[in-house]
Amino acid sequence: MEDTKHVMLVGEGARQFAVSQRFEETDLLTDESRKAWKKWKKEQNEMTPHDTHDTISVLAQDSNGNLAGACTTSGWAYKMHGRVGDSPIIGAGLYVDNEIGCAAATGLGEEVIKTTGSFLVVELMRQGYDPTAACEKALNRVIKRHNGNPDFQIAYIAIRKDGKIGSACIKWSFEYALARDGVNKLHKIKGIV
C-alpha cells in the first residue's frame, strides 16, 4: 500500500512485485510438511482451520494511543487451490480504525469473510459496545446462521481506543497473550456455545 497505488496484489503479479522488492524466492515446504501432505492425500480426511490452526493476529497500541494490527497465516491446510481466507482481507481477518479500535480474527475464514467479522467488531465498538460484547455479538451472527451450534471455531480479539481489550470465541476455548506494562500473560477464555 506504500509502494504501489493498490491495496492487494495476488498470484503471479504479487510474486513479480515481491521479487522486484528484493524478497528472496524460496521453497518453504519442509520434509515434515511434505510427509504430512502425502499421508493426508492417502486418507483424504476433511480438515478445518481448527485442526491446522496457525493464524497469528496481533493488535497493538502505543503510548500515544495509536492502534495497529497484523495478521499472518498459511490459511487452511489442504484447501482447494486458489482458496482465499480471511486473513488478508481488510475488514475480515483484521480491521484497524485509529479513532475507534481494532479487531482481528482466527478460525474458519469463510465465515469471518461472510460476516465482515473484524469490521463488524470495530463498528459495534463505535456503537458503544464493550470490546468483549462486540466480539460476542459478531460471533452470535455466525452462531445464529448455524442453528446455534456451529461445528467450527472463530475467535476475535479487540482493543478499544481507550485501551480496553476484549475477546470471544465460538466454542471450546481460546488463548491469547497480553503484554502490558512489562508483564506478559496468557489468558484463556471459554467458548460461547
Min dist CB 107 to ligand ASP, Å, is 5
Task: Specify the residue, 96 or 154, whose C-beta has the smaller distance to ligand ASP.
Answer: 154
Residues forming the site for ligand ASP (CB under 6 A): 49, 53-55, 73, 75-76, 85-87, 106-109
Catalytic residue flag (residue 115): no
Task: Specify the residue, 42 or 81, whose C-beta has the smaller distance to ligand ASP.
Answer: 81
Closest CA to 189 of 128, 72, 177: 177
Task: Specify the residue, 101 or 107, whose C-beta has the smaller distance to ligand ASP.
Answer: 107
Enumerate residues 6+ apart whose C-beta is below 8 A from 145.
111
Instruction: Give the strands of the sheet with 154-160, arranged side by side.
Output: 94-97, 101-107, 154-160, 165-169
- Of the candidates 4, 26, 30, 55, the residue annotated as catalytic is 55
Min dist CB 80 to ligand ASP, Å, is 12
Burial 43-70 (b: 16+ CB within 10 A, else e): eeeeeebbeeeebebebebeeeeebebe
Which residue(s) pair with 190 in the sheet?
173
Min dist CB 86 to ligand ASP, Å, is 5
Positions marked active-site? 55
